[in-house]
């Protein structure tokens, strides 16, 4: 195996996992918003909240479906390229990956199908319960993924037998501080992502003088009012995570802070413990990812505080088109922030795939360089098409507005129900 083969495999996983992460970030946050909207509609029998649920629910379904496709493709290349990891650590972290598959591809997708096709067929309270099951399973799916990733970052609850890992303490794996703190950090970031998305799409419709002005005025406020507490919770979890990482992976923070003496000391200590080698991660990737994450967060927080104040004034919400343009332009920022944080988290672990136990270079499958290059090109093109298709479908559905929503649309045999409109 050549060095280029390893770099191609790493780049392929980075592109596929990063692309899939974009779908997950919006899916988890948007599911929460839709569930809350439907709860309000069910409790108050509000027609406008029912239409909000259907409109944002259709966007959620589109993004969820594309996320499933990218997840399947990512797992396929994961199994092909990293057989060394599966052989060495599959007995431990493979169980949580299997649980995530059961939750996401069976429980969550089954109840999502019930929710999609249950409009007008299920009791309204049962239908509300279904969307909350979908939301909770989305959170559980994220948790199980982070259990697996947390083990790679900070191995716990294992014993080495005949050169492979064996699980000895499931509780230690499930309560890994690296996983738990990262889970709350990701959930906060997902809510921020969904809040910016809902506010931006609503601003677009208001700028176009949409017929459903009340719907998008309420939606814009929901998106704006959500982002401030979500950002606060995200930064709190992020601060705790820095402390956790500092104890588990001091090299990552030393490289990020450009503390040369500490880096040299840690390099010498790791050489003494693990033998000759370069144990310093790529400083460019670590610092760039960390700095962009912090800068984007600061910009989002200042922007969200301004949005919070502006959203209190109804005339501004309805007709302030310069603000609407800013909200539309800000939609990609949370996605970029989460990607930057992911780059910081993952590249800072190198050269380890399982920290302190298995190097990345020892985990790759014995695949020729030419095949790996071809695989990289094929997967990159496929994911590029899926991302563009998802953006096009979301933009199309968002542009057409609630009138074109098929989700929950009454059939010709069902008379539409007139419900009272409540105030926000």
Instruction: Please determine, for residue 415, whether its predicted confidence score (pLDDT) is greater than 80.
Output: no
Q: What CA–CA distances, in Å, run from 306 to 143, 218, 296, 302, 417?
A: 32, 18, 15, 6, 39
The 10 Å Cβ neighbour count of residue 420 is 9
- Domain span at 231: 3-249+281-400
DSSP string, 250-265: HHHHHHHTT-HHHHHH
Least confident of 54-58, 293-297, 319-323, 346-350: 319-323
Average pLDDT over residues 148-177: 91
Q: Is residue 260 part of a domain?
A: no
Task: Return phi, psi of residue 211, to 5°.
Answer: -60, -40
Q: What is the mean pLDDT of the chain?
A: 87
Q: How far is CA 106 from the centre of its chain?
A: 19
Instruction: Please determine, for residue 328, whether its predicted confidence score (pLDDT) is greater than 60.
Output: yes
DSSP string, 165-222: EEE--HHHHHT-HHHHHHHHHHHHHHHHHHHHHHHHHHHHHHHTT-S-HHHHHHHHHH
Q: Is residue 255 part of a domain?
A: no
pLDDT digits (tens, 9 = 90+) for 254-274: 999 888 899 999 999 999 999
Q: Is residue 409 part of a domain?
A: no
Looking at the structure of the chain, the number of domains it has is 1
Average pLDDT over residues 388-404: 84
Q: Is residue 45 part of a domain?
A: yes
Q: How confident is the model at residue 317 (pLDDT cuts 50, 70, 90)?
A: confident
What is the reported pLDDT for 2? 57
Q: Is residue 272 part of a domain?
A: no
pLDDT digits (tens, 9 = 90+) for 142-160: 999 999 999 999 999 999 9
SS3 content of the chain, % helix, strand, coil (to 5): 80, 5, 20
The answer to whether the beta carbons of residues 55 and 405 sit under 8 Å apart is: yes
Least confident of 182-186, 196-200, 326-330, 382-386: 382-386
250-269: b (≥16 Cβ within 10 Å) or e: bbbbbbbeeeeeebeebbee
Q: How confident is the model at residue 8 (pLDDT cuts 50, 70, 90)?
A: confident
In sequence order, which residues have a C-beta less than 8 Å from that of residue 333 and are 6 or more positions away?
Answer: 196, 296, 299, 300
What is the reported pLDDT for 135? 94
Q: Is residue 375 part of a domain?
A: yes
Q: Is residue 337 part of a domain?
A: yes
pLDDT digits (tens, 9 = 90+) for 346-395: 998 889 999 989 999 888 888 888 888 888 888 888 888 888 888 898 88
Instruction: Please determine, for residue 302, whether its predicted confidence score (pLDDT) is greater than 90.
Output: yes
What is the reported pLDDT for 424? 30
Q: What CA–CA distances, in Å, run from 123 to 42, 120, 392, 417?
A: 11, 8, 34, 14
pLDDT digits (tens, 9 = 90+) for 59-87: 999 998 888 877 777 777 777 788 888 88
Q: Is residue 177 part of a domain?
A: yes
């Amino acid at each position: 195996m050549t060095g280029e083969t390893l770099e191609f495999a790493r780049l392929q996983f980075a592109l596929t996992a990063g692309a899939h992460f974009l779908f997950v970030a919006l899916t988890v946050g948007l599911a929460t918003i839709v569930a809350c909207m439907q709860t309000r509609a069910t409790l108050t029998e509000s027609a406008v909240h029912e239409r909000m649920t259907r409109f944002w629910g259709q966007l959620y379904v589109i993004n969820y479906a594309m996320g499933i496709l990218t997840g399947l493709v990512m797992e396929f290349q994961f199994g092909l390229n990293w057989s060394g990891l599966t052989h060495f650590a599959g007995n431990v972290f493979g169980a949580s990956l299997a649980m995530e598959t059961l939750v996401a591809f069976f429980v969550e997708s089954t109840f999502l199908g019930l929710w999609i096709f249950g409009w007008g067929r299920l009791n309204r309270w049962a239908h509300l319960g279904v969307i909350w099951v979908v939301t909770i399973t989305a959170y559980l799916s994220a948790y199980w993924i982070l259990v697996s990733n947390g083990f790679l970052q900070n191995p716990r609850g294992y014993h080495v037998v005949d050169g492979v890992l064996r699980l000895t303490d499931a509780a230690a794996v499930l309560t890994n501080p690296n996983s738990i703190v990262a889970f709350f950090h990701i959930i906060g970031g997902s809510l921020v992502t969904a809040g910016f998305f809902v506010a931006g799409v609503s601003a677009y419709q208001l700028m176009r003088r949409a017929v459903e002005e009340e719907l998008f005025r309420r939606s814009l406020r929901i998106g704006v009012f959500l982002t401030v507490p979500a950002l606060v919770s995200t930064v709190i979890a992020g601060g705790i995570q820095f402390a956790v990482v500092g104890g588990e992976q001091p090299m990552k923070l030393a490289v990020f802070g450009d503390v040369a003496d500490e880096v040299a000391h840690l390099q010498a200590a790791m050489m003494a413990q693990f033998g000759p080698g370069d144990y310093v991660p790529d400083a460019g990737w670590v610092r760039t990812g960390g700095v962009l994450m912090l800068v984007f967060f600061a910009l989002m927080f200042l922007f969200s505080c301004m949005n919070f104040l502006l959203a209190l004034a109804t005339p501004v919400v309805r007709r302030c088109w310069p603000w609407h343009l800013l909200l539309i332009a800000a939609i990609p920022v949370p996605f970029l922030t989460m990607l930057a944080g992911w780059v910081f988290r993952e590249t800072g672990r190198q050269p380890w795939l399982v920290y302190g136990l298995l190097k990345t270079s020892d985990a790759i499958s014995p695949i020729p360089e030419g095949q790996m290059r071809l695989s990289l090109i094929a997967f990159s093109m496929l994911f590029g098409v899926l991302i563009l298709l998802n953006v096009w479908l979301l933009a199309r559905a968002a542009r057409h507005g609630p009138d074109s929503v098929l989700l929950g649309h009454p059939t010709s045999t069902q008379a539409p129900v007139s419900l009272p409109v409540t105030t926000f």
